[in-house]
Structure 1
């Protein structure tokens, strides 16, 4: 097309038709501008396409991470629930001295209540990478960006709550590190000694007397309160938040 205009222009110049030459010169400029605009539009379309494809990769990765984190949280809620339920059972025995458990039953209650740390460890590697690299802005849905940012803040609050719960648990466990009570008895009667390759003792120090301790009862009550608060005020809202994040992610993923 440009060759055609140049040929006409040459002929016009030779014929000294200046006005017509100017008209065709303008037409040539217009064609060049149109060509540039078309090229820019194509580049922009390609860039937008690449951004959308990149966003889809992020969305699929985030979906996998949050689905895995949700499974972890469900299991953690179950462990925490068993922990405070068995703790409440122990408190119940303390309220009725005429109906005490045997040593093996009490050992199993102690083990289920205090043997497991309560700590949420979500899969956040991709999300952290996106935040550190500034790629969170590549997500086109502003609501999703807000939800993901709030998610990080909520995790920080939960870490503090779990530290409080761990402190209350240690208060109770430390009572068994004295000469009055026996961790070995709990290990023997719950099968932990065998799992650790330890010999089972023939004589055991009873832990039943701890049910008469006011200090133990106070520590137990604080532990139960902190455990239930961790579930109701932190884990349950976090689970709801994950449901919302996953629903939003799913709405943005192309089929």
Structure 2
């Protein structure tokens, strides 16, 4: 091909057709330039295609992280709402106690663990470390960086508050307060404090009551703050998820619809199925072959969600009662049923449920403690 064009140029020069030669030369140059531009365009197109593929892969990884974080936050919000409600009930109950010992024992109602939060931020942090985060458009990049800041702030604050809470609980423990089951026990008394050795354990009830009450008040205040922060974080993740999903041309379903597995009872409930319909649905299932998760734990999870998050204890009671019928030999179903009854103020039937749970599992510490409290109240 090169020889062919060279021959044309030589023939034009021999024939002294200089004008035509220059026209031809210019045309040839233009063709070469066009060829180079086309090659560059193809190369750029390939590079953009590769870059977009990498970007979409990162987006997909981020979406998976966001889905897990959304579920984590939903779960924590539910737990926090439960803890806050229990603490509000405890405050009123605590003030009505006629003895310090009874007041301390009332703290068994409270949930001690503060709980850490570990978000799934590996993809975003990896992008930042490798510098690939620059591949992401600035407005999305800034949102991702803000999300990391929010998550780190929540996690670090929770950890600091947990350490402070445990420190106060340890002070109570040195006076004989058992952090495991929160009963005063002689063997818990710390012998390393000579001054306290001269005291009877009963002499510490007042100080223990004040320390424990203050510790849980501190915990409650911080849980309220964390709850509001997580609700804001949940909305932020929801918005970010939608933005990234739009970049993926709507590849994923809405984040609400993927919060629970499609074969879970929670999914059926979030899809609008009533409690009665879900119970009827469970009854129709073959336990050995159903694709749906109808385990006692799954049914319990639905009950607690309705009781604590949806704030419908009467509907939750239907779920817990059904669970005791569906799994009559499972001690935990009766324990949860008793908890819901107690929450609704039906102490008589709650006692029956807890006794049944204890009958099925004599080591059920929760049932032992609750029944002891209720017995103490009746004295």
TM-score of the superposition, structure 1-length normalised? 0.78
Distance 1:9 1:227 in 2: 86
1:101-143 deviation line (CA, Å, top 9, x unaligned): 989x847424xx11x3422111111111111111112123x32
Matched residue count = 233
Match of 2:157 in 1: 161
Contact map agreement 1:63 1:249 (CA 8 A) in 2:
yes
User: Which aligned runs of 4 or more in structure 1 are off by greater than 3 angstroms?
Assistant: 1-5, 98-103, 105-108, 183-187, 209-212
Deviation digits for residues 183-230 of structure 1 (CA, Å, limit 9, x no counterpart) = 46549xxxxxxxxxxxxxxxxx99xx5698333333332221111112
Report the Cα offset of residue 171 of structure 1.
Answer: 4.0
Higher relative contact order (CA 8 A, sep 6+): 1
- Name 2:71's counterpart in structure 1: 71
SS at the partner of 1:80?
Answer: helix
| 1:235 corresponding residue in structure 2 | 230
Residue in structure 1 matched with residue 128 of structure 2 by the alignment: 131
In structure 1, what is the equivalent of residue 178 of structure 2?
182
**Displacement of 1:178 after TM fit?**
2.1
Shift of 1:62: 0.7
1:41-86 deviation per Cα after TM superposition (whole angstroms, max 9, x unaligned): 1111111111111111111111011101111121122223333333
| 1:120 alignment counterpart | 117
1:119-170 deviation per Cα after TM superposition (whole angstroms, max 9, x unaligned): 2111111111111111112123x32111101111112321342134213421
Matched, 1:170 2:166: yes
CA positional deviation for 1:36: 0.7
3-state SS in 2 of match to 1:126: helix
Who is 2:246 aligned against?
Answer: 251
Residue 33 of structure 2 corresponds to: 33
**Alignment partners' CA distance in 2, 1:212 and 1:125:** 43
Map 1:12-51 → 2, pairs under 5 A: 12-51=12-51
Shift of 1:5: 3.4
User: What do you get for the CA RMSD once the two structures are aligned?
Assistant: 3.1
**1:89–1:221 CA distance, 2 compared to 1 (3 A):** same
- The whole-number CA distance in structure 2 between the counterparts of 1:122 and 1:35 is 51
User: Which residue number corresponds to residue 145 of structure 1?
Assistant: 141
Higher helix share: 1
- In the alignment, structure 2 segments of 5+ residues that lack a partner are 184-200, 252-379
